[in-house]
Each structure stands twice: as structure tokens, then as C-alpha cells.
Structure 1
């Protein structure tokens, strides 16, 4: 493990040295050469014509609000073809660019600043028609940019032989990336379409994978499917915010939240990746790795809360450091599990290797140690995409491993059975009877919930289509009621899961007591989610039954191990089968009614009315 750690640290040091080596040192200049906007080669070499001025706090020009307030003897520095990249600083940066149109016709270009996370950006462009100014940035509403685009675009219109001076003032609490380019409208549209396709495929794939894993979680109840969906969704939202899309589409007018959202989403992603890694790698509870990952999860949760208190320049450093620490820790834990013989860890380690490299490079670019932030963003998306594919492949391998174990166990049992059959021919009849009895018991167990003794989700899925078909044939009503315990997570959090299980058994007893007709079926199909199948019962009867159950539950209490009495409540939603409706639509309406009951204050019953065209 020390060898792997040494390699990881060496790699990080190499990336840091690369970033430092890319820093530029240019001599002061008194004149910024004019760029011919009609010359494509000069536009591509824009940074050869740009000059910048750094004004630190305390200097006379620090509070300058316009170019005219800058001192005449300011020491402007030529960019010398380098991207303007600055790590965290309190200084204000001014950038100057002189452009001219050597052609005869009037033309339009766009000066593009391809980094969305800047607090305050001001553009002045002066020409024969005077000077105009644009104030924008994250600390202003999004539409202050003038152009509905995630990057900053400044229209530059030049008549024939016209010259124009462009001055930019940038102030931000984070790192400063100032990738400037001068583009024609056609080039802007082409690049936007290309990047829209890339981002659409990337975020669309993340959304599909997240939804697929969420469905797997709901269908199987396996925790790591939920954690994987949570991780992919939170990481996608973080990259969405870093790319400027969230500020454009989600909170364009929330200027205070624009900065807070970045460290907040980093901490959420850190928590998600920790929970997923701990679940997928099957970390033994109480082990050192388990204690470390629990501590990192708690640290992520604490940082999430602190992002609303700490200033951005401190919270972004803390959350990024913890995120990199978590990625490295998960990588090492994956290596350990791989060496312990846990085969799915192999693919997990491969997935996390790319993520580790991508996160380091992306962090260095975001903090101003590497130039070309857009290229690092694409690299991070490639790393995340590869990781998502490998992680989902790892889950497939994990499923195959479990399935193979089951097949091996079945094959072993079958072989032993055949040997016993050959050895004990005389006992064949008794053996077959025992096997049949065991199969019946297994079938019974597969259709019942072990904790409460009620039927389970599988029985619901098997029985509901049959009851719907019977109701349509016989024209008898069929009603389904979905019930959910209110604030049950708080019960588990406060008194523990053992007491929570006791509460679930108490709820099951009440359901059995009220659903007492021979054909009524009580089901537990989720954690604290229950269902009643009521053939021959209409909407009014089902509503009265649910009200009786809710009143019975609210009037009783469950005693904790410390002698405290806890009263539980439930919310219920009912739906009655109508003509032309199948079991999925019936279940959906009942579920919507349950959500309405929750939204209306809980501890109540809502009846779903048939939808009309």
C-alpha cells in the first residue's frame, strides 16, 4: 500500500510542477499592440496582443472603478501568448486589448471569456462612438451578461478601418481563469453546437445511468444502487454548476447562491461517493476502513453545513481537499479489497484511477495552476464518463459473482442430492416429499416479509394483475390503499433501527387487525411503506377502513427500551379500479394520492379520482 501511495503522491507532485512550469513571467510593457480582427491568424493569437495589470489590496489603484481612474504610470504586462491564469488572490486584474478592422466593411465579432465562475466582470469598449460599459459576473443576475450564454460574450462591432480599445476589470473570490478569444458569430454558433452535443450526451448519460440505478434500487432494495444513483446525480450537478449551466438555468437570479453552490455540491458529491464506495466494496462494519470512511462521510456532511457559513475562498479549499482525500482513500481501500480477493474491486480500482487523475487535473485547473480550463473540463467529463461505465460494469460483475455463487451452491446441492439418491434408493420417496415441502416453504418465504409477517412486494406484483383481471370480469370493485409511516426516518435516527423494526411490527399488527376479510391482503412493499389490496371494496369503504387504521395507530403508542412512549402516524392514498385501467395505472394513482396526503399535512387519507379526458 505504501508503494501505491508513493506513486499517487509522485503523480500529484508532477501535476503541480507542470502547473507551476506553465506560469509565465513577462516583462512590463507600455503599449499593447493592436489586433486586426479581420485577420484569422491574429485572432487565434489573441493573447499575443493582450496586456494585464495586477492591483493588490492597499495599492492606490485598487479601488479604481473605471479605466480612467487607473494611474497613467501603471505597469501593464504583456500576456506574451499565455493564457491568463491566476490562483486564489485578493487582487483585482485589469486586461487591455486594442482591436481594429483593417477591412472596408462593418463587421461583428464576439470577445469570449470562456470561464463562467467569476464574481465581477466589467467590460469597457471605447471607439469613435464613445465608451460603453457592461457590468456582469456571478454577483449580478445572469441576464446582466446581455447574451444568454454560460460564458461571457461581448459584441464587438467595428466599421471599416475603425479602432476600438477594450478594457476588462475582473474581481473574484476564487481562482482567476481568463481564457479570451475573439470569434466570428459563425464560429461561436458552431462551437456552441459542438459543445451542446458533447454536454448533452454527457449529462444525458449520467441522468440515464442515475435513473436506471434508482430503478434497480426500488426493485431490489440493494443500497449500493441508490448510492450509485446519488453519486452520479450529485457529481453531474456539480459539473453542471462548474460549467456555468446551473447559474444559467437553475438559479439565474440567485447571486448569493452562485458561489455557495460550488463547495456545497462538492461536499454532497464527497458524501455520495463515500457511501457508495463503502456499500459496494462491502466494508466490514467496525473495521479500520469502515471507521475511516464513516469519518470522511461525517466530514463531508459537516462541510456541507459549513459552506453556508464560511466565505467561498475558504470553503472551496476545504471541500476540494476533503474530496481529493476521499477519492484517494477510496482508491486505496479498493486496492486493499482487491488484494483480499474481492473480485469486483478490480473494476472499482480501475474506475477510481481515472477519477483520481481527472479530479487532480480538474482541481489544478480550477485553482489556477493549469491553463485551458475548457480542455480540463472535457478531460474531467471523459474521466467521469469512463468511471461511470466501469462502475456500472463492476456492479454487473458483482451481480454475476453473486449469481455464480448461487449457481454453484445449487449445483453442489444437486450433486449431493443425486449421490444420496444413488446411495439411498430405498429413501427416494421420503426424500422427494421433503424436497417438495422445502420448496413450498421457500415459496412461502419468498412471498412474505421476514420482519412483519405480511406479504411482500413480490406477492403484490403477482396478485394485483390477477385481482384487476377478476374485477373486470366480475364487475366487482377493487381498491388499493398505499400507506406510509410519517417521519419514520426520524424514529430510526432517534431511537435506532431495532426500535424502528418494533414500530413496523406494530403497524403490521394494526393492518392485520383491520384488513380482516378473507380476501383482504396486507402487504409491506418498502421500508415503511405498506399496501392493502381490497377486492370487492369501493372507494368509500376503503376510505373508511384507512381512517380506522390511522385512528387506531394514532391512539396507540410504542414503548422504547427507555420507557418512552412514541406515537406514530401514517398517511394513506387510495385508488379504485376503473374501466380500461391496468394495475400500473391503478398503483400510480394510489401513489399520487399518498403524496397528496403527505403534502397536505400527513396523518390523513386522500382518494384518487379517475382521470377524465
Structure 2
């Protein structure tokens, strides 16, 4: 071989060896973040729960330019921090977390990686197999296919991925839970690498914890029990206030009921329960529900405060103007919650909520100085609430760690406030009743007879007025000749019929018309015509009258029968019976003479999506066809 060719051969061989070494180095760099930088966390039976993963590697990706391979390859410098300290205020960056884990047990085991902060838009998880720990001397399991394990130094093998977050459908989560859970299946001595990518329009908390399978189930049961007890207590308070309103018609009880329900929805939205159970298929509502329910709760509390403290424009003009101003601002924010980006509206809503709370607390103090006994409980409820709300808000916005602990404290504070507000209502009612009894006792001793006399007169007058109102309503809704409903009464009945969404099928409408009624008036006189109309009304009442049926005289000689929950076939049978009865029986007049009558009828059955007007129009068209076909007959849907 010539010397030049020999040199070229050695140069090519050296280049090939250099390329191979570079590729091998790249593969090893991709295999894992260096152990010295991010050591693996050992998992064993001795410790079933790790409440906060220690010394996690993480980095902030402000340019959104990295991928999971970059994290595995250690291509970007990472910081280390305990998981409960991974708390960041609102920003547009992506956060990456790298968690290498190692099974120290000689048996397969399942762990659950849990992210204890539900208000995150995007949570992406990649789980990689790093192979079996060479330092762990474990006998191979013949049931496991060890040929699939990566060789030492080989690139990690992607096992599974998950794309979660409240900006995505709830069913995309591998475990149906309000928090983010990722099952991790370890083989004996197996090492796994978990890479997380987190992005959100609000504050970012990444409190990661690990639980064994049995421990995760127990934790979920305990947490479900505590959440159920809290929500059940709120439901009982809401029912109690609703009962107070229904029994006594006290406005503040109604608004307190609304506040309890809206505040409960706010907490369930913050905790992820609303997304899990109420709107799992509407990710856009998962974030929007937070400012919406927060604003609704504040508006309800504003109106409760106004009525509880009796803030009216005559006695407290400035306070009344302040309440109206805050209410109008809240109404505007309620609409803005559907349009303004979440990252902005949640800040505005929080500032608005704090301003309203401070204003309501100040109003309570003002009325307490005026000597109102019930105001002391109102003020105390705010003092209890502020402690929990401030801690909860600071945790939610990323200023302090421990969101789950603050969530429980917020539940205690909110539940205590609602109880104290309800107790303040009861005490106010007690004071009102006590003052009423004192007034009654004083009046009884001096003017008992006069009070009783005037009370009796007033009751009699109110009774007479109520009776007159009932009679007036009867006159406005009923036909004076036949006693059936008139056109106005029929319109109201049709409106109720159309609004009754639970009826299936809705029912059938039948229109009856006296044949040749003008001839009856011309030959026998109008008195005979009135007698014929009354007789037809009695026939309808006797043959069609059920508790749910509606009978009306529509005008002139037309009658309408509205038969709810009646099929077209049954309605045809009933209407045919009416026609047969009228045909076979004549009307007897006062002078002994008789008039033979016949009826024509048109029937129409309710169709899905129909309106009362279209139902009436179809029945009227069928009646017209019955008239055109010779009268004394019934035409229904589908008949000619």
C-alpha cells in the first residue's frame, strides 16, 4: 500500500473512532441528569408516604424552548429545592421538574406521584425507565421480561406520558381525582425518571408528594370524608337559612343562603371538586368559575349586610350609596369574568373582594358603636374570616407555601363565619321578638281592647280585600257565561304547559266548534244560543274533566281542551266521545223546545321544540279541515 493511501486510511479510522466516542458520550449525557446533581430518591416499604419530595431539581423556562429530552440530558442548569418550597408568583414561564426515583425493594410496587395544587392550566408528565439499579443485588423475576430493560448507559426508555391541567378535559387525567395523580409502576430495583412541565396563567405551586398504593387509597378516603363533612355542614346552614326565609320572609336569610352556596362553589372551584364533578367537559369554566363564584359570593354578602344592618337611604344615605356603588362594580366584574383573561381578572376580583370585605367590616363596627347587639356577632364573624382568607389568598397567589394546609384553615374560617352570620340572624330575630313582646305587654296593659278591636277590623278588611282580589282574578280569567277559562286564562295555562319540561309526552290540544251556531241565534234567539253554549260547556266538564285538564271558551262558539300527558290516540277517543254525546242529545230550552247540535273538532299533539302558538295553529288548521269536510267530525294530526 502506498504511503499516502496508508495515511489516508489511518486518518479515516481515527475520524470514525472519534465520531463513535462522541455518539457514545451524547447517549450517556442523554441517559440521565448526573447523579451528583440530582440523586435518585430511594423508595421502600419502611416509608409509605413522602409528604414533600426533598431536594428536587427544577428550572424556569422563560422562553418555552425546552423539552423533556433537554431536562434528561442536563442541557440546562437546574436548581434544587424541596417540593413544598416550589412556590412561584404569577408569571408566563414554564417550570420543569426532574425527579429520579429508585425502588429499593426486591419486589414490584406501585407508587402515586401527587401534585397537591389543582389550579394549574397545564401539567405534562413523562415517565422514563432508567433500568435496574446496578448497585442493588436483586434476583431477576422470571415473570419479568428483563430483555426489555435498558442496558447500563443506554438512553432512557419512555414508558408513559400524561397531559393534565384544568385547561384540558378532566377525563385526560390518568387518575380521576381533583388533584394531579400519576401512577408509577416499579419493578424490583427499577429506576424511573419523572419529568414534569408546568404552566399556568395564575400562581404556580408544585408541592409534589409520593404515596404507596394503599396509602393513596386511605388518603383519598380520609380527604373525601373531610370534604364531604365540610360541604354537608354548608348545605345544612344553607337549608336552615332557606327555611328561615320561606317561613318568615326575611330578606337577609335569602341572601345568606345565596352567599353560602356561592362561597361553597368558590371553594370547590379552588379545590378542583367543581371541575371533577360539575363541569368536567368544560375546561374553560374550570378557571372562569373562580372569579365568577367569588364575585357572586361578594354580591350576595353585600346584600345580606345591607338588609341585616338595615342600611336604607333614609337613615344611612352615605352607607346606602357605598353599597350601591360596590354592587354595581361587582355586576360589571361579573360580566368581565367571562371576557377578561384569567390572569388579570383574578387580581381585579381579589382586590374588589378585599375592598368589599373591609367596607362591610367597617360598617359592622359603625353599627356596633350605635349599640346594635346583633352587630357584635357580625363583626366577630369577619375577624374569624380574615385570618383564614388572608392565609389562603397568600398561598393561592404563591406568596407562601402549604396551599393544602391553608385550604383546610380556610374551610374552618369560612364555616365559622357562616355559622356566626347565621347565629347573628337568630340573635337579631330574638331581639326583635323580645321587643315585640315588650310592646305587646305594654299595649295590653293600657290599650288592649282598642288594639284587639283595630286588629280585628284590620284582619276583616284584609280578608275582604283578599276575597275581592280572588274574585277579581276569577273574573279576569274565566268566562262569565260558561264558567270555563277565557282566552287570557287559556294563554296562562298554555304558558305553564309549555314550561313543564318534565312532562313526556307533553299532551294534546283539541279545539271544538259548534256547527251552524249563527243559525241557532237567528232561529231561536240569543238566549237559546247562550243556553247551547252553557250546555256544551257542561258536556266538556263531564266528559273531559280531570284534575290536570284545562277547558276554556276561546271566543264565540269555540271551546278548547288542553289534555296534558295524553297521547293523540287517547285524545281522539275522548274527543270522539264528546262529538257523539252532542250528536245524540239535544239541548232542552226553558220553553220545552229542543235544539239539535253537532260539533267539529281539530286535534294536535305536542311536538319537540314547539311553541303554544304553533300547537294552537295546527289544531285550528285541523278544525278548519273538519269544517271543510262536512262538519260533525274530528280531524287530527296525520289525517286529511
Scaled by the length of structure 2, the TM-score of the pair is 0.64
Match of 2:393 among 349, 363, 377: 363
**For residues 342 and 546 of structure 1, what CA distance do their matches in structure 2 show?**
57
Task: Tell me, yes or no, if structure 1 residue 199 matches structure 2 residue 227.
Answer: yes
Measured at CA, do residues 334 and 516 of structure 1 come closer, stay the same or move farther in structure 2, by a change above 3 Å? farther
Once residues 563 and 407 of structure 2 are traced to their aligned partners in structure 1, the CA distance between those partners, rounded to angstroms, is 46
Find 2:97's aligned residue among 95, 100, 104.
Answer: 95
CA contact (8 A) 2:313 2:320 kept: yes
Aligned to 1:454: 466
On the 8 A contact 1:35/1:46 being kept in 2, the answer is: no
Confirm whether residue 155 of structure 1 aligns to residue 161 of structure 2: no
2:84–2:207 contact (8 Å) kept in structure 1: no
8 Å CA contact 2:266, 2:294 repeated in 1 = yes
Query: What is the CA deviation profile of residues 91-119 of structure 1, one whole-angstrom value per residue up to 9, with x for unaligned ones?
Result: 11001111101111111110100111111
CA distance in 1, matches of 2:260, 2:446: 45
SS of 1:154's equivalent?
Answer: strand
Instruction: Pick from 60, 67, 70 the counterpart of residue 68 of structure 1.
Output: 70
Q: Which residue of 2 aligns with 1:472?
A: none
Aligned-partner Cα distance in 2 for 1:349–1:34 = 52
Q: Is the 8 A contact 1:85 1:176 kept in 2?
A: yes
Whether the 8 Å CA contact 1:34–1:49 is kept in 2: the answer is: no
Partner in structure 1 of residue 43 of structure 2: 37
- 1:550-577 deviations in whole A, cap 9, x for unaligned? 99xxxxxxxxxxxxxxxxxxxx9999xx
CA contact (8 A) 2:443 2:451 kept: no
Q: 1:108 to 1:406 in 2, by over 3 A?
A: same
Q: Does 1:174 align with 2:180?
A: no
Shift of 1:280: 1.0
CA contact (8 A) 2:549 2:564 kept: no
Alignment partner, residue 584 of structure 1: none
The equivalent of 1:270 in structure 2 is 298
Correspondences of 1:416-435 after superposition (within 5 Å): 416-417=446-447, 432=449, 434=450
8 Å Cα contact 1:358-1:379 kept in structure 2? yes
Tell me if the contact between 2:177 and 2:276 (Cα under 8 Å) persists in the aligned partners.
yes
1:233 equivalent to 2:255? Answer: no
Partner of 1:390 in structure 2? 420
Q: Distance in 1 between matches of 2:176 and 2:248?
A: 43
Q: Give CA deviations for 1:202-256 in whole Å, capped at 9, x if unaligned.
A: 1112122212322322332221111011110000011111110111111111122
* Partner residue, 1:339: 369
Which residues in structure 2 correspond to 1:133-144 (within 5 Å)? Answer: 133-144=161-172
Equivalent in the alignment of 1:467:
none
Shift of 1:601: 5.9
In structure 2, the residue matched to 1:56 is 62
Find the counterpart in structure 1 of residue 638 from structure 2: none
Q: Equivalents in 1 of 2:267, 2:467: separation in Å?
A: 43
For 2:53, what is the secondary structure of its paired residue? helix
1:47 aligns with 2:47: no
1:281-360 equivalent positions in 2, closer than 5 A: 281-285=309-313, 287-360=317-390
How far apart, CA to CA, are the structure 1 residues paired with 2:379 and 2:471? 43
Q: Secondary structure at the match of 2:466?
A: coil
Q: Distance in 2 between matches of 1:213 and 1:45?
A: 39
1:508-561 superposed Cα distances (whole Å, 9 cap, x missing partner): 8444555799xx9xxxxxxx9xx9xxxx9998499898857x99xxxxxxxxxx
Contact 1:97 1:167 in 2 (8 A): yes
Any idea what the Cα deviations from partners look like across 1:127-151, whole Å, max 9, x if unmatched? 1352122111112211111111111
> Which whole-Å CA distance do the structure 1 matches of 2:263 and 2:613 have between them?
36
RMSD: 3.7
Q: How far is 1:415 from its partner?
A: 2.3
Query: Does residue 107 in structure 1 map to residue 119 in structure 2?
Result: no
Q: Which one has the largest radius of gyration?
A: 2
What's 1:256 paired with? 284
Shift in Å, 1:603: 9.7
Secondary structure, in 3 states, of the residue corresponding to 1:308? coil
The alignment partner of 1:98 has SS state of strand
Give the drift of 1:68.
3.5
Unaligned runs of 5+ in 2: 1-33, 132-148, 150-156, 484-491, 497-537, 556-561, 566-605, 617-640
Question: Shift in Å at residue 195 of structure 1?
Answer: 1.4
Structure 1 445/395 Cα, relative in aligned 2: closer, same or farther at 3 Å?
A: farther
Distance 1:362 1:508 in 2: 58
Aligned to 2:273: 245
CA distance, structure 1, for counterparts of residue 417 and residue 52 of structure 2: 36
2:297 and 2:222 map into 1 onto residues whose CA distance is 28
Match of 2:457 in 1: 441
Residues 236 and 446 of structure 1, relative CA distance in 2, 3 Å threshold: farther
Gaps spanning 5+ residues in structure 1: where?
1-27, 419-431, 457-504, 521-527, 552-571, 576-595, 607-613
For 1:88 and 1:337, how far apart are their aligned partners in 2? 39
- The equivalent residue for 1:117 is 119
Between the aligned partners of 2:89 and 2:471, the Cα distance in structure 1 is: 60
1:573 and 1:173 map into 2 onto residues whose CA distance is: 55
Are the aligned partners of 1:546 and 1:605 in contact in 2 as well (CA < 8 Å)? no
Number of matched residues? 453
Shift of the 137–80 alpha-carbon distance from structure 1 to 2, 3 Å rule, reads closer
CA distance in 1, matches of 2:442, 2:169: 68
Moved more, 73-82 or 40-49: 40-49
| Residue of structure 2 in register with 1:211 after alignment | 239
**Change over 3 Å in CA distance of 1:455–1:219 after alignment to 2:** farther
What's the TM-score, normalizing by structure 1?
A: 0.67
* Contact map agreement 2:49 2:212 (CA 8 A) in 1: no
Mapped contact 2:549–2:563 kept (Cα < 8 A): no
Q: Would the aligned equivalents of 1:29 and 1:77 in 2 still touch at CA under 8 Å?
A: no
3-state SS of 1:285 partner: coil
